[in-house]
Structure 1
Amino acid sequence: MATVLSLSGSPSASSRTARLLRHLDARVAEHGHTVVPLDVRTLPAGPLLHADTSDPGIARAVDLVESADGIIVGTPIYKAAYSGLLKSLLDLLPQSALAGKTVLPLATGGTATHVLAIDYALRPVLSSMGAHHVVQGWFVLDRHITVHDGGVSVDPAAEEGLHKVVDRFTRALASQSDLSAVR
C-alpha cells in the first residue's frame, strides 16, 4: 500500500488542526496505508525560515515529502489563507515536490467564511507544485472539534464529511498505485 505524509501546518502545540489530522490518520491506516505524521512547528525555526535544506531536520522533512505517495495537508485558516508556517515549508520545497502525488487539503477555522481558502489559496499552490491529483478538500469549523485527553471528537455531521473525503483520498491513492504497477 501507499505511504501517506500527514502534514500539519499549525503553529500551535495544542492545535485542533494537528489533533484532527492524527484522528484521521487512523482512518487512513485502516485502509492499509502507512501514515507518517509531521507537524511543521517541530522543525527548526531558523533553518525553516532561511530555507536551509542542509539542516538535518529540514532535510528529513524534504525527504518525507519526496518519499510519500500521498500527502494530507492540514492547516488552520488565518486571515483567509493557510498558515504562514505551512507557507514557509512549501516555499523551501522544490517546485516539483508534489509531482506524482495524491494530495488532500484540509483546513480548520473559526467561521464558514474561510471555507474558500482551500480552493483559492491552498489548492493552486499544491497544483503548481505538480500534484498528480488534488482531491476535494474539506473545511471543519473549530467549534465542531472538541479536544479531550490528547484526542478529539468531531461533530457527527462534520465527521461524516471528513470520512467521505478521506475515503475518496484513499481510493485515489489505490488507483494511483494500480496505475504505477501497470507501468
Structure 2
Amino acid sequence: MTVLLIAGSPTAPSRSAALLDAAALRLRRRGLEVQRLTVRELPAQALVHAQFDDAQLQRATDQVAAARAVVVATPVYKAAYSGLLKTFLDLLPQSALKGKTVLPLATGGSAHHMLALDYALRPVLGALGARHILPGVYASDAQVTLTPEGGWQLQVDIADRLAEAVDTLQAEAFPSTARSGFDPIHFSRVRCSV
C-alpha cells in the first residue's frame, strides 16, 4: 500500500516539486510508504515516440499500477498542466488509475490559472479511471517562495490547505490508518456512570 508521487515539472528545482515534497513529508510522518516518479527523468525519446517496450517506461507504469493512491504535481503553462506530464499520462493504460484516490497539485504564475486543475487535469485523471479525485491544491508563485538558503517555503495558507488535502487523501485511500482526532485511551481509564 503505497502513495505514488508523480512530479510533472520539466525543471528542477520547481515550485510544484516543493508542494510534492511537503506532501511526502506529511505522508511519511503518518507512517505511509511513499514512492516518487519524476517524469523528466524518464527517457525523452521513449516518451515522445510512445515506446511502450522501454524498460524505464514499463517500470514507471508498474509503479502507477502498484500504488493505492497517487499525488500528481505539475506547473501550469498556458492554462493547462505541463506537456511533459501529458506525454506520460497519454502512455498509461486506460484504466491506470482505476480504484485509486488521486490528489492533484499545481503551481502557476498567478491565481488566474487555478481552474486548470478542474478543467484540464481532472478530466484526464477521470478518463484514466480514478476512483476519487480529491479537490486539488493550487499555489501561485508568490505562495511558494525560494529562501536565501535555496529551499522552498510555503506560505501558511498553502501549507494548511496542503495538510488538509493530505489528511483527506489518507482518510480516503487508507481509512484504517487515518487518525480519528482523539488520542487512544487505555481501557483501564474508561469510567462508566449510570
Same fold by TM (over 0.5)? Answer: yes
Give 1:124 shift. 0.8
Match of 1:12 in 2: 11
Counterpart of 1:48, as a letter, is L
Counterpart of 2:163, as a letter, is H
Match of 1:123 in 2: 122
Rounded Cα–Cα distance in structure 2 between residues aligned with 1:95 and 1:62? 12
Seen in structure 2, the aligned counterparts of structure 1 residues 156 and 177 have a Cα distance that, compared at 3 Å, is: closer
Counterpart of 1:145, as a letter, is V
CA contact (8 A) 2:170 2:177 kept: no
Q: With structure 1 as the length reference, what TM-score do the two structures score?
A: 0.91
Please give the secondary structure, in 2, of the residue aligned with 1:136. Answer: coil
Q: With structure 2 as the length reference, what TM-score do the two structures score?
A: 0.86
Give 1:38 shift. 1.3
Give 1:177 shift. 8.8
CA contact (8 A) 1:20 1:152 kept: no
- Listed as ranges, the gaps of 5+ residues in structure 2 are 179-194
Rounded Cα–Cα distance in structure 1 between residues aligned with 2:48 and 2:107? 24
- Listed as ranges, the gaps of 5+ residues in structure 1 are 179-183
Counterpart of 1:58, as a letter, is L
Rounded Cα–Cα distance in structure 2 between residues aligned with 1:70 and 1:164? 16
Rounded Cα–Cα distance in structure 2 between residues aligned with 1:67 and 1:177? 19
Match of 1:165 in 2: 165
Match of 2:184 in 1: none
Rounded Cα–Cα distance in structure 1 between residues aligned with 2:120 and 2:176? 25
Higher RCO by CA contacts (8 Å cutoff, separation 6 or greater):
1
Counterpart of 2:91, as a letter, is L
CA contact (8 A) 2:171 2:177 kept: no
Give 1:17 shift. 1.0
Query: Cα RMSD (Å) of the superposition?
Result: 1.6
Rounded Cα–Cα distance in structure 2 between residues aligned with 1:150 and 1:51? 36
Matched positions, count: 177
Percent identical pairs in the alignment equals: 49
Q: Deviations over 1:101-143 (max 9, x none)?
A: 1100010001101010101110111011110111111101111
Counterpart of 2:112, as a letter, is T
Rounded Cα–Cα distance in structure 2 between residues aligned with 1:97 and 1:65? 7
Q: Deviations over 1:6-32 (max 9, x none)?
A: 001100022111122112201011222
Q: Does 1:96 align with 2:101?
A: no
Q: Does 1:81 align with 2:61?
A: no
Rounded Cα–Cα distance in structure 2 between residues aligned with 1:150 and 1:26? 18
CA contact (8 A) 2:110 2:140 kept: yes
Match of 1:181 in 2: none
Match of 2:152 in 1: 152
Q: Does 1:63 align with 2:66?
A: no
**Which structure has the larger Rg?**
2
Please give the secondary structure, in 1, of the residue aligned with 2:126. Answer: helix
Rounded Cα–Cα distance in structure 2 between residues aligned with 1:23 and 1:175? 21
* Higher-helix-fraction structure: 1
